[in-house]
Amino acid sequence: MFDDGFSRGRVYAIVLRYLYLLRGSWPRLVDSVYWPTVQMIIWGLVTRFFSTHSSWVAQAGGVLIGAVLLWDVLFRAQLGVSVVFMEEMYARNLGNLFSSPLRPHEFIAALLVISVLRAVIGVGAAALLAIPLYRYSIFDMGFPLLAFFSVLIMFGWAVGLLICAALLRYGLGVESLAWASIFALAPISGIYYPVSTLPEIVRPLAWAVPSSYVFEGMRAVLLEHRFDPSLFAGSVLTSLLYLALGVWIFSRTFQIARDKGLLLQTGE
């Protein structure tokens, strides 16, 4: 017979269980403070910029909408790699996949293709919806849009592969990285404000990631009606560097995981 009464002891036991889980998992602890901190930093910088540049948005209609859409390209590209990989881990299917003739580089290629398809579908729908709602078409950028899209896709791939490597090594206990990691780059990417708005000590970090070049280049197109080749070259070089690093780290981690039998142990 079950006791239908309310037991504070049982409630305490379950609460204690989750407190132990929280204490023993640094990703969970980081996640608790991560989102409020990132939001505070981003919108603090946005407020700081607009307080001295109140007419900036009026100079080019849709500059913020364009920034949001391009940021979503990066976000969807990263999720297209990491979330698909996590789905295989949830299904405990990695061991099955790699007991077949499938090779790691073939698996990586498939993840990258799926990533592009998901990004095109998701961002494409939002971009089309912005036309009737806000009378703004990001497609008016023409060639620069294709250039920016390609760079952000490559950078998203790189971040996604690094997350997959972490998942292989540490299990699903670090799955929050799939959602949180890309937003760590948001404050230094200059999505809604120029890199010059950042504190001087942080600017070298901004120029170390491809996304900052892309958003600076987007503003040059929308505000100054020019495509900056130097910004594009910087974005391509850094994104290729990160992509090569992501592929290498994932391949190396995969080899270690296979040697240690981690492909069959996909829990936390």
Looking at residue 172, its pLDDT comes to 75
Average pLDDT of the chain to the nearest whole number: 79
Separation between Cα atoms, residue 60 and residue 52, nearest integer Å: 17
Q: Which two tokens stand for residue 176?
A: 């929050």
- Per-domain boundaries in the chain: 26-264
CA–CA distances in Å: residue 244 to residues 247, 250, 251: 5, 10, 11
CB-based contact 239:151 (threshold 8 Å): yes
**Is the pLDDT score of 11 beyond 90?**
no
Min mean pLDDT across 58-67, 158-167, 172-181 is at 58-67
Predicted model pTM: 0.79
